Structures are given as C-alpha cells and as structure tokens.
Amino acid sequence: MPQELNATARWLTLSAAFLGWMLDGVEQAIFPLIARPALQQMLAVRGDREVGAWMGYLTAFFLIGAAAGGVVFGWLGDKIGRVRAMAFSILVYSVFTGVCYFAHAPWQLAVFRVIAALGMGGQWSLGVALVMETWPERHRPMLAGAIGASANAGYLLIGWIAYCFPVTGNSWRWLMLVGAAPAILTFLIRLYVPESPRWEEAVAAAEGHSHPLREVFRYPALRHTALAVTLASVVLIGTWGSVQWIPLWADKLTNGADPAAKAVTTMLLAVGAIIGCFIGALCGKLGRRPAYCGLCLASYALCWALFHGVTTYGLSFKVLAFLVGAMTASFYGWLPLYLPELFPTRIRATAQGISYNFGRILAAVGAIGAGQLVGYYSGSYARMGLTITLVYLIGALVIWAAPETRGKPLPA
C-alpha cells in the first residue's frame, strides 16, 4: 500500500490543484470577453463575419497549444513529479497571458496565446493526478466535482471583474494584465505542496525504466487512450466550438451597446458550470456510462432550446445560458472521476494529458469550423451553435464502447 499523506498535506494538494485550475479558468475566460472588441479594434471593422473567422482561428491556435502543453507537462509530471511540473505550467501561462497586453495585430495575439496555452494545457492532467493519488478513494466523486468546478470559479471571477469594469475596444488590454497574477502561485506551490507518494513509489519501482509516452500508445493502454480521446473530444468540441461563443453572441444581440452583457453571460455560464460539475461527478456514482450518455442528451436538448428558441438578449437568454452552462460543464466533473480509473499510476498524468488535450486538437478543428460557419450563416452565432452541438449525440453513442469502472479502485 502506498504511504498516505496526513490531512494537512492532502488539503494542500487539493488547494494547489483547485487554485491552479481556477486560475487556468481565468485565463480561458478572458479571451471570449475581450475577443470581439479587441478584434474589431485591430481589424478596424464593426461586423461579425471577419471577427467570427479570426475568433475561430485564435481559439484553434489556443487549443492546439494547450494540446501540446498537455502532452509535454503530463509527461513531465510522470518524469519529474506532479508538483514541480504544475508550478512550471502556471508560470508559463501567467507570463504569456500578460504579454498579450502588447499585441497590436490578431497574429500577435495568436502567438502569445499559443505559448500561454502550453502552460494551461498541463494543469488539468497534473491537478487531477495529484489529487486523486493523495486522497482516499471514497472522496473521489466530490473531489472530481471540485476540480471541475474550479475552472468555472475562475470564469465567474473574471466575469465579475469585467462586469465591474466593462470591457470595450479601448479598455480590453488591462484584462490581460490580470491574467499575469497567477505567477505568484508558483512559488507557494513549490514551497508548501507535497509530492504524490503514489508517484514516488511508482518511480522507485520502475527503477528508471518507465517510458510513459511510449506505453500510452501500446497495448493494452492504447484502447483506453483512444476511448478517452474520443470522450474528451465530444466535450471539448461542444464547449469550444459552441458554448464559448455565447458571450460574443450576447454582445452581438445588444449591438455592442451594453458592454456588461457579455460579462453577465460569462457569469451565468460560470455559476451554472460550477453547479454542473458537481452534478456530473455525482451522476457518475450511478454508473460512468449511463451518466455520460444522459449528460450528452441533456446538453444537446438545452443547447437546441437556446440556439433555436432565443433571438433577443433578455430573461429567456439568461435562464437558458445558465442551464446550458450547467449541463455542458457537467462533463468536467465526470472526466476527473473517470479518466484516472482507466490508467495505472506510472502513466496516469501522461495518459490524461494526451487524452484530454488530443481532444483539444479536435476541438480546434471544431473551432475553426465554427468560425467558418458563422461566416457561412451570415454572422449567425445561433445557427452555428445548432450545428456544432450535434456532437453530443455522437458522444451518447460512443460511451457504450467504454468500460464501466464504477466501484473499482484506481489502477496501481
């Protein structure tokens, strides 16, 4: 049996993972808030055809960078430890989000966002591995919900800041400086957060012969890797190809006359998502496969109601945005519960990083497609959303090919 950490040490690992992923959420939420005014300013346009296309490209570049970062930092987590790799990843995404302040062209934003995304991509797999390996297994469902909710707490935080200080074409740059603040967290993590005993024992047992990146793509882990990539891809395509565009849609529905609309929308999505993450984790207790299937069907139904039934920014828009935020984010409580159960300790961070972040590559394709669809549909974010969210129906079918792991311990 692996050595267990005391209660104080366990809370430190949870706090580090929660704060790291929460501040990662801050970084992710910044761009949908600043994208429309920033791109309109840089491109000297007022319409959404050009903005939609650039938003698709920038989102895709971010997701590709995050995918690469997930693989690199997941591998580092298995080689040098969860804690050191986590601190380094936070430092990277903090510094280069702040550097976006100096961007004066969309391509410059793309370059800085790609580098920042390298650090962001590592946070999820590292935080999940650290927490799931240091806490007793009976706590895993609630911990999965907390980890999933943490990024959305970041969304809520930045949405509140943007509500208090509205983001316009002349004031978007200061928000990028807010994104540099998490760099301080790296020093606290290195000073106070203990390493995973499970990882230390797995490294000692491997005696320098562990090759996690190679093992992830070999039998028997390959089948689980392929399934995990597919399941994460459905979730990420739905989020980045559709839900992330809802604040831009709110800005368009108000013709940019109400800068607070996109901040309010971001907060509603975030509050719903925080609740949804716990729903996803708790539903997982009923069975991993039926939970994922049900969440897919419910997500599609609510997205259809929002994108098909709403044409103005008002109460119906806000209520449905809240519900869509809750249901589509419920997967981020389910994934931290399920993915660790598919892989052994020696390759867990690498496998999770590849699975989750390869999904981001496919989501990048979805984001580019979403941007092109906005142009094809003459600037209609709603019609684009209706098309992209069909991906949830695919997920409802694919999950039945995955193994049921409810009630089983983490693989050693």
Rg (CA), the chain: 20
Q: Closest Cα partner for 187 from 84, 336, 50?
A: 84
Question: Is residue 211 helix, strand or coil?
Answer: coil
Find tokens 């650039």 and name the residue: 54
233 DSSP 8-state letter:
H
Over its length of 412 residues, how does the chain's per-residue pLDDT go in tens digits? 455 677 888 888 888 888 887 888 887 778 877 887 888 888 887 777 777 778 778 878 887 888 888 778 878 888 888 888 888 888 888 889 889 889 888 889 889 988 988 888 777 778 877 888 888 877 777 777 787 788 878 888 888 888 888 877 778 888 888 878 777 778 788 778 888 888 778 777 765 555 766 777 777 778 888 888 899 989 988 887 888 888 888 888 888 778 788 888 888 998 898 888 888 888 877 888 999 999 999 999 999 999 998 888 989 999 999 999 999 989 988 888 888 888 887 777 778 777 877 777 777 777 778 878 888 888 788 888 889 899 999 999 999 998 888 877 767 6
Residues 32/245, Cβ–Cβ less than 8 Å: yes
- Alpha helices by DSSP H, listed for 135-172, are 140-164
- Cα 111 from Cα 235, distance rounded (Å): 25
Give 365: exposed, middle or buried? Use CB within 10 Å, 0-12, 13-18, 19+.
Answer: middle
- Nearest Cα neighbor of 412 from 344, 340, 342, 312 is 344
* SS3 state at 327: helix
Q: How many CA atoms lie within 13 A of 341 on its CB side?
A: 20
Q: Which domains does the chain have, with CATH numbers?
A: 7-200+211-401 (1.20.1250.20)
- Separation CA 74–CA 325 (nearest Å): 28
- Sequence-distant contacts of 180-184: CB under 8 A, at least 24 apart: 180/94, 180/95, 180/97, 180/98, 181/23, 181/94, 182/20, 182/23, 182/26, 182/27, 182/90, 182/93, 182/94, 183/90, 183/91, 183/94, 183/95
Tokens 């300013």 belong to residue: 41
Cβ atoms 96, 376 nearer than 8 A: no
Angle at alpha carbon of residue 94, lines to 92 and 95, rounded to 5°: 70
The H or E element that residue 268 is part of is helix 260-283
